Structure 1
């Protein structure tokens, strides 16, 4: 009796093992082999001013083929990459080549030609680039982007940002020996001024850091220099850092207070020496030389 029970138990165990093994072999047989994508997906994000800009696209390679005018025909809509539609997303309203575009995510299409590309932003991020299926009534903006010749071959299609300023950048598209770019502008000043109004102008207990930041912004953007001087002096009374005292010297120099600029630069130089910051030592020495010329 015992032997029979053991045989039945062993048989059931063996059957279960074979079933599990068979299932695993079946799954292994049907699993797809994973290989590198021919046109890998890429996402590039850049803060321009105070706005985050994100481009998501797939990157085809030339692989010895002639690209523009052949692989990518002239005069026809292109998804600006491979696979899915290329998208561009803005966290705030922006201006592209002088045209306003609301915050949001858009499909980015181009129609390449020899000397310029037509860039199209469309509300749909999923439709293809084919003429028959494309919905022109969903276009948000169209504008031209001038082409230029690259100094070195770009084997893989690349999108990115160049020529950065505090409020602008160029969106750059490069492949083979051709580049095309368009200007992106953001509205920085109203946002910064609103912060200054809240944190400095209307705040009797403004921090030294906020007052210094407001003064630097006023100096860099040619705003009220006397107000900037008041803020930076208050900041330096609270906490005199060598870089902030140097800002005070620069503002005084711009106001043609040469004696005051020299005094502040000498103070900043001493603080920079104590901090062993050679760059600011040199910057203050240069400023003192300029102040002496103005007398």
Structure 2
């Protein structure tokens, strides 16, 4: 009798295990990664839908902690130290929480990432890294599923946007890409002082509008090591023009133009021709 009972219990246990069904989540998981210069921001979160409901002030009550999504707490990871509205956000992973209000939101970067959801009674404000206040904006369209996105991306900054229903909140991030680049340039020029290394260092400075004299020195070194190259001369012309030396800029652009024609680099031919015309006009003024 006991053996029959034990067998029945085991049967129910097996049935229970085998009977578990993996079903799609109402708020599906999502992950977004965004490069900012040499750094990266990644966010893992779940995306609840509006489904005809009133969201902020109702489904998401004012004045109470919100997990910034659904299911597990939203996690944000930064690959290098960053700055958020004057606050240092060190390299690492944090839980992202919000305290929404009608006129302003308090966003929280929280050091304890082990809580499920908002942590409820286990949430401890003493474990906040910092809090910032942001102003919600009303958007003209409708965002059905809660969305975290990045926009206004430069080498040094980006805006993280939280968008749901007709509300958007923006959080600005900043990173010292120039400091990172200077360290990387110094490292590469010491370990790999090739023509391409000097060129890439110069191109970065030219694109950022920084230290044109140093960029010109790098380009001269690139040409000395690597010889005449259409894109070396092209960037050299831009740097010389930025320094106000239009005669030298026209000569460098002319060299780039000749090489580009021989290599059938039509796009570079057109760019150099346009620049030469522009700088000749500058010399006449």
TM bucket by the smaller chain? Answer: 0.7 to 0.9
Equivalent residue for 1:137? 126
Q: CA, structure 1 residues 283+149, in 2 after alignment: closer, same or farther (shift >3 Å)?
A: farther
Describe the SS at the equivalent of 2:138: strand
Distance 2:172 2:17 in 1: 52
Q: Deviations over 1:101-132 (max 9, x none)?
A: 11111110011122332110111112242653
Aligned residues of 1:116 and 1:180 also touching (Cα < 8 A)? no
Q: Deviations over 1:55-95 (max 9, x none)?
A: 11111011111111111112211000001111111111110
The structural deviation recorded for 1:167 is: 1.1
Equivalent residue for 1:272? 260
Aligned residues of 1:273 and 1:281 also touching (Cα < 8 A)? yes
Q: Which one has a bigger Cα radius of gyration? A: 1
The one of 91, 95, 101 aligned to 2:79: 91
Distance 2:18 2:41 in 1: 41
**Which structure 2 segments of 5+ residues have no match?**
1-6
Describe the SS at the equivalent of 2:121: coil
Equivalent residue for 1:249? 237
The yes-or-no answer on 1:235 pairing with 2:227 is no
The one of 188, 199, 204 aligned to 1:199: 188
Equivalent residue for 2:200? 213
> What TM-score results when the alignment is normalised by the length of structure 2?
0.87
The one of 158, 163, 167 aligned to 1:174: 163
Distance 2:140 2:256 in 1: 44
Q: CA, structure 1 residues 115+236, in 2 after alignment: closer, same or farther (shift >3 Å)?
A: farther
Equivalent residue for 1:56? 44
Indicate the larger mover: 101-110 or 230-239. Answer: 230-239
The one of 79, 86, 109 aligned to 2:97: 109
Indicate the larger mover: 230-239 or 180-189. Answer: 230-239
Distance 1:114 1:244 in 2: 55
Describe the SS at the equivalent of 1:132: helix
The yes-or-no answer on 1:223 pairing with 2:210 is yes
The yes-or-no answer on 1:118 pairing with 2:95 is no
Q: CA, structure 1 residues 277+68, in 2 after alignment: closer, same or farther (shift >3 Å)?
A: farther
Q: CA, structure 1 residues 144+227, in 2 after alignment: closer, same or farther (shift >3 Å)?
A: same
Indicate the larger mover: 44-53 or 179-188. Answer: 44-53
The structural deviation recorded for 1:233 is: 2.1
Describe the SS at the equivalent of 1:62: coil
> What TM-score results when the alignment is normalised by the length of structure 1?
0.85
Distance 1:149 1:57 in 2: 22
**Which structure 1 segments of 5+ residues have no match?**
1-18
The structural deviation recorded for 1:31 is: 2.2
Distance 1:214 1:265 in 2: 19
Write the mapping of 1:61-80 to structure 2, written as runs, cut at 5 A.
61-80=49-68
Question: What RMSD in Å do the two structures reach over aligned CA positions?
Answer: 2.3
Q: CA, structure 1 residues 134+204, in 2 after alignment: closer, same or farther (shift >3 Å)?
A: closer
Aligned residues of 1:256 and 1:294 also touching (Cα < 8 A)? no
* Number of residue-to-residue matches in the alignment: 272
Aligned residues of 1:84 and 1:126 also touching (Cα < 8 A)? no
Equivalent residue for 2:3? none
